[in-house]
Amino acid sequence: MDDVLVVRDLQMRYGEADVLKGVSFRARRGEVLALLGPNGAGKTTTIEILEGFRIRSAGEVSVLGVDPAHGGEAWRARTGVVLQSWRDHAKWQVRELLAQQGRYYAPYSTVGITRPWDVDDLLESVGLTRHARKRVSDLSGGQRRRLDVAIGIVGRPELLFLDEPTTGFDPEARREFHDLVRGLADREEVTILLTTHDLDEAERLADRILILTGGTIIADGSADELARTLPGQSEVRWTRDGQPFTRSPENATAFVRELFQEYGEAIEDLEVRRASLEDTYMALVHQAERRTPRGLAAVTA
C-alpha cells in the first residue's frame, strides 16, 4: 500500500459549528496535492489535523501509516511543516538556524534516507547561499519564506505540508520555488500537501487538486479532469472571410472537426482555449454554494 495520506470521513466541530463534515481523500507517495477553497472552508483545520496539531472530532486519519493524534517524535521526523506566518528566530543567522534545526533529525536516518539534508546543499537549492551569514531579520519577505521552506525540508521529510507557501513572492522567486517543489516530488518522492489561493500555482504544481468548500470536498482530480466535469467551459475562436467568431461548445474537439468539414480552408486564426482552472474553480464553488448545504455530492473524476 503506497498511500501516504488516508483521510476517511473526517469531521471537526467547534461547539455548534461543523467546520469539516466528512472529508475523504488519499495521497500516494510522491504526489503533489493542492487543497483549494474559499477562506473559512476548513483548509487550515484539515492541514492542522494532519500535522497532528489539532485533534479531530471524528473520522479516520492515517498519515505515513500513523494516526497523527498519536504520532511520536519518530513520526514527526518524517514530516515537514511550513506554516503561514513564521517570524521567529529573528536574531539567528540563516546558516546557523538551519544547522540547529537539522541536528534534531540525525538520529532518524534510515537505510534509504540520510537525515538531515546537508546545510550548504540545502542553502544552494533554495537560493540562499549568498545570504547564509545574514541575520534572519535582515532577509526580504521572499528570502524569509524560502528559509521557512528550507527549515521545513531540512529533515528530508517524506511528507511536506505547505500552507500558502508563495505569499509575497516576486514572479522569479515563485518560479524558482515551483521548480524546487516539483523537484522534491519528482526526484525525492516527497508527498506534498499544499494550500494556496494562487490557482496558476495549483495548476502548475499539483498532480491532483482538491476543492474544499462548506466543510466537504466538492472536487478531486487533475486540473484537466476538473475542467472536463464542466461542459461548455472551453472557448473556440476563429475567423472566416475576415469575420471573427467565438463559441463555447460542449465538446470542443468535435466542434472543430465539424467546423473544418463544413468550411475547410476558409477557417483562419483558430484558437481553442480550455477552461482555465480559475474558470472551473469559480464554477464549481458557485455550483456548490447554490445547493443546499447537506446535498453536496462530491464531484469525483
Considering only residues 25, 30, 101, 159, which one is a binding residue for another protein as defined by CB under 8 A? 101
83 lies in the binding site for another protein (CB under 8 A): yes
Residue 92 CB, nearest distance to another protein (Å)? 7
Considering only residues 2, 9, 88, 138, which one is a binding residue for another protein as defined by CB under 8 A? 88
Neighbours of 9 (CB within 10 A): 13
Q: Which is nearer to another protein, 45 or 280 (CB)?
A: 45
**E strands in the chain:** 3-14, 17-28, 32-36, 58-63, 79-82, 159-163, 191-195, 208-213, 216-221, 235-240, 243-247, 267-273, 299-300
Stretch that binds another protein, among 97-105, 117-125, 182-190, 283-291 (CB under 8 A): 97-105
Q: Which is nearer to another protein, 30 or 152 (CB)?
A: 152
Q: 274 is written with which cell numbers? A: 480550455
**Please, which residues bridge with residue 26 across strands?**
6
Residue 50 CB, nearest distance to another protein (Å)? 12
Strand, coil or helix: 258: helix
Residue 137 CB, nearest distance to another protein (Å)? 10
Question: Helices 94-103 and 141-153 sit at what angle, rounded to 10 degrees?
Answer: 20
As a whole number of angstroms, the distance between CA 118 and CA 127 comes to 14
Considering only residues 40, 65, 107, 232, which one is a binding residue for another protein as defined by CB under 8 A? 107
Residue 93 CB, nearest distance to another protein (Å)? 9
Q: Which is nearer to another protein, 105 or 281 (CB)?
A: 105
User: What is the chain's percent helix, strand, coil content, to nearest 5?
Assistant: 40, 30, 35
Q: Which is nearer to another protein, 97 or 128 (CB)?
A: 97
92 lies in the binding site for another protein (CB under 8 A): yes
Residue 279's alpha-carbon distances to 154, 172, 226, in angstroms, are: 37, 25, 10
100 lies in the binding site for another protein (CB under 8 A): yes
Task: Check residue 131 and report its DSSP letter.
Answer: G
Residue 248's alpha-carbon distances to 63, 228, 256, 298, in angstroms, are: 42, 13, 11, 25
Ranges within 45-64 binding another protein (CB under 8 A): 45, 47-48, 51, 53-54
108 lies in the binding site for another protein (CB under 8 A): yes
Neighbours of 301 (CB within 10 A): 14
86 lies in the binding site for another protein (CB under 8 A): yes
As a whole number of angstroms, the distance between CA 280 and CA 242 comes to 32
255 lies in the binding site for another protein (CB under 8 A): no
65 lies in the binding site for another protein (CB under 8 A): no
Note the residues at the interface with another protein (CB under 8 A): 44-45, 47-48, 51, 53-54, 73-74, 76-77, 79, 81, 83-92, 96, 100-101, 103-108, 151, 155, 163
